[in-house]
Amino acid sequence: MTFTADFTTYIGQMRLVLSDRVEASAEFSDEELTGYYNMAYQDVLQGCLLAYLARIADYAKYSGDEYRIDTLEYNEGKSKASAFQTMYNSLKASIDDGSHPMLNVSAHTYGIYTDEYNENIQRMNDGEIIPPRTFDLECNQIRTKMQDGPYYD
Protein backbone atom coordinates (compact mmCIF):
# COMPACT_ATOMS: atom_id res chain seq x y z
CA MET A 1 0.00 0.00 0.00
CA THR A 2 1.42 3.36 -0.97
CA PHE A 3 1.22 6.54 1.05
CA THR A 4 -1.76 8.81 0.78
CA ALA A 5 0.61 11.72 1.34
CA ASP A 6 0.39 14.96 -0.58
CA PHE A 7 3.35 14.87 -2.94
CA THR A 8 3.20 18.63 -3.48
CA THR A 9 4.61 19.12 0.04
CA TYR A 10 8.30 18.80 0.86
CA ILE A 11 7.71 15.58 2.84
CA GLY A 12 5.92 14.00 -0.11
CA GLN A 13 8.61 15.15 -2.51
CA MET A 14 11.33 13.74 -0.26
CA ARG A 15 9.49 10.42 -0.09
CA LEU A 16 9.39 10.32 -3.89
CA VAL A 17 13.11 11.04 -4.23
CA LEU A 18 14.01 8.57 -1.47
CA SER A 19 11.73 5.86 -2.95
CA ASP A 20 10.02 5.61 0.44
CA ARG A 21 6.46 5.33 -0.80
CA VAL A 22 5.16 2.17 0.89
CA GLU A 23 3.47 3.07 4.16
CA ALA A 24 3.74 -0.40 5.72
CA SER A 25 7.52 -0.46 5.39
CA ALA A 26 8.35 3.25 5.58
CA GLU A 27 12.03 3.85 6.18
CA PHE A 28 11.62 7.47 7.35
CA SER A 29 9.04 9.10 9.59
CA ASP A 30 7.54 12.49 8.76
CA GLU A 31 9.37 14.00 11.74
CA GLU A 32 12.72 12.70 10.49
CA LEU A 33 12.10 14.08 7.02
CA THR A 34 11.12 17.45 8.49
CA GLY A 35 14.35 17.46 10.50
CA TYR A 36 16.52 16.66 7.47
CA TYR A 37 14.64 19.25 5.41
CA ASN A 38 15.26 21.93 8.05
CA MET A 39 18.92 20.95 8.47
CA ALA A 40 19.34 21.34 4.71
CA TYR A 41 17.92 24.88 4.86
CA GLN A 42 14.62 23.89 3.23
CA ASP A 43 16.21 22.17 0.23
CA VAL A 44 14.47 18.90 -0.70
CA LEU A 45 17.41 17.28 -2.49
CA GLN A 46 19.98 18.19 0.14
CA GLY A 47 17.58 16.95 2.82
CA CYS A 48 17.37 13.62 0.97
CA LEU A 49 21.17 13.37 0.98
CA LEU A 50 21.14 13.87 4.75
CA ALA A 51 18.45 11.21 5.12
CA TYR A 52 20.52 8.73 3.10
CA LEU A 53 23.62 9.48 5.18
CA ALA A 54 21.68 8.89 8.38
CA ARG A 55 20.43 5.50 7.18
CA ILE A 56 23.90 4.50 6.00
CA ALA A 57 25.24 5.26 9.48
CA ASP A 58 22.35 3.43 11.16
CA TYR A 59 22.83 0.23 9.18
CA ALA A 60 26.63 0.33 9.16
CA LYS A 61 26.94 0.58 12.94
CA TYR A 62 25.26 -2.71 13.71
CA SER A 63 25.64 -6.10 12.16
CA GLY A 64 21.92 -6.75 11.76
CA ASP A 65 20.49 -10.20 11.18
CA GLU A 66 22.89 -12.80 9.85
CA TYR A 67 21.74 -15.62 7.64
CA ARG A 68 23.64 -18.64 6.54
CA ILE A 69 22.57 -20.94 3.73
CA ASP A 70 25.02 -23.76 3.21
CA THR A 71 28.32 -21.91 2.60
CA LEU A 72 26.80 -18.50 1.89
CA GLU A 73 26.66 -15.92 4.68
CA TYR A 74 24.45 -12.87 4.50
CA ASN A 75 24.54 -9.87 6.82
CA GLU A 76 21.39 -7.76 6.51
CA GLY A 77 22.74 -4.59 8.15
CA LYS A 78 25.84 -4.28 5.98
CA SER A 79 23.96 -4.98 2.76
CA LYS A 80 21.33 -2.34 3.61
CA ALA A 81 24.10 0.17 4.31
CA SER A 82 25.63 -0.69 0.95
CA ALA A 83 22.27 -0.28 -0.81
CA PHE A 84 21.71 3.14 0.78
CA GLN A 85 25.30 4.12 -0.10
CA THR A 86 24.57 3.29 -3.73
CA MET A 87 21.37 5.38 -3.70
CA TYR A 88 23.25 8.25 -2.00
CA ASN A 89 26.02 8.14 -4.61
CA SER A 90 23.48 8.13 -7.44
CA LEU A 91 21.55 11.11 -6.05
CA LYS A 92 24.75 13.04 -5.30
CA ALA A 93 26.08 12.44 -8.81
CA SER A 94 22.82 13.60 -10.42
CA ILE A 95 22.88 16.77 -8.31
CA ASP A 96 26.55 17.44 -9.04
CA ASP A 97 26.23 17.02 -12.81
CA GLY A 98 22.92 18.91 -12.93
CA SER A 99 20.93 16.04 -14.41
CA HIS A 100 18.42 15.63 -11.57
CA PRO A 101 14.95 16.72 -12.72
CA MET A 102 14.21 18.58 -9.47
CA LEU A 103 17.13 20.95 -9.84
CA ASN A 104 15.01 23.51 -11.64
CA VAL A 105 12.94 23.97 -8.46
CA SER A 106 15.82 24.03 -5.98
CA ALA A 107 18.34 26.17 -7.83
CA HIS A 108 20.32 28.72 -5.90
CA THR A 109 21.78 31.90 -7.36
CA TYR A 110 24.86 33.48 -5.92
CA GLY A 111 26.46 36.68 -7.09
CA ILE A 112 26.67 40.40 -6.70
CA TYR A 113 24.02 42.88 -7.72
CA THR A 114 24.82 45.14 -10.66
CA ASP A 115 24.17 48.23 -8.55
CA GLU A 116 26.65 47.07 -5.89
CA TYR A 117 29.25 46.33 -8.58
CA ASN A 118 28.84 49.80 -10.10
CA GLU A 119 28.99 51.39 -6.64
CA ASN A 120 32.25 49.56 -5.89
CA ILE A 121 33.74 50.76 -9.20
CA GLN A 122 32.75 54.33 -8.34
CA ARG A 123 34.26 53.99 -4.84
CA MET A 124 37.52 52.73 -6.41
CA ASN A 125 37.55 55.68 -8.82
CA ASP A 126 37.00 58.08 -5.89
CA GLY A 127 39.89 56.47 -3.98
CA GLU A 128 37.64 55.35 -1.14
CA ILE A 129 38.58 51.69 -1.53
CA ILE A 130 41.71 50.11 -2.97
CA PRO A 131 41.11 48.39 -6.31
CA PRO A 132 42.19 44.77 -6.77
CA ARG A 133 45.48 44.07 -8.53
CA THR A 134 43.77 41.95 -11.16
CA PHE A 135 41.48 42.83 -14.02
CA ASP A 136 38.09 41.33 -14.68
CA LEU A 137 39.18 39.75 -17.95
CA GLU A 138 42.46 38.24 -16.67
CA CYS A 139 40.99 34.85 -15.83
CA ASN A 140 39.28 32.44 -18.14
CA GLN A 141 35.70 33.31 -17.41
CA ILE A 142 32.59 31.81 -18.90
CA ARG A 143 30.73 34.54 -20.70
CA THR A 144 27.00 34.06 -20.52
CA LYS A 145 24.25 35.96 -22.26
CA MET A 146 22.60 38.52 -20.01
CA GLN A 147 19.32 37.36 -18.54
CA ASP A 148 16.43 38.91 -16.68
CA GLY A 149 16.48 39.03 -12.91
CA PRO A 150 17.72 40.99 -9.92
CA TYR A 151 21.39 40.49 -10.83
CA TYR A 152 21.00 42.23 -14.17
CA ASP A 153 19.70 45.76 -14.63
Tens-place pLDDT, residues 8-48: 899 999 999 998 888 888 899 999 999 999 999 899 999 99
* Percent of the residues in the chain that have a pLDDT greater than 70, as a whole number: 70
Rounded Cα–Cα distance for residues 138 and 143 (Å): 13
Indicate the length of the chain as a whole number.
Answer: 153
Rounded Cα–Cα distance for residues 43 and 7 (Å): 15
Q: Count CA atoms closer than 13 A to 61's CA, side-chain side.
A: 6
Give the pLDDT of residue 113: 72
Rounded Cα–Cα distance for residues 47 and 54 (Å): 11
Strand pairing class (66-69; 72-75) = antiparallel
Give 106's pLDDT tier (boundaries 50, 70, 90): very low
Which residue range(s) make up the domain with 133?
A: 1-153
Give the pLDDT of residue 127: 85
Could you read off the pLDDT of 115-142 as tens digits, one per residue? 787 888 888 888 888 777 665 555 555 5
Please tell me the pTM assigned to this model. 0.58
Number of folded domains in the chain?
1
The rounded mean pLDDT for the chain is 78
Are the CB atoms for 33 and 17 separated by under 8 Å? Answer: no
Give the pLDDT of residue 31: 94
Q: How far apart, in Å, are the Cα atoms of 73 and each of 57, 69, 70, 76, 84?
A: 22, 7, 8, 10, 20
Provide mean pLDDT across the span 47-74: 81
- pLDDT above 50: residue 70: yes
The more confidently predicted of residues 107 and 112 is: 112
Residues 6+ apart with CB under 8 A from 118: none
**E strand intervals along the chain:** 66-69, 72-75
Are the CB atoms for 80 and 56 separated by under 8 Å? Answer: no
Give the pLDDT of residue 71: 78
Give 153's pLDDT tier (boundaries 50, 70, 90): low
Q: What is the DSSP letter of 101?
A: G
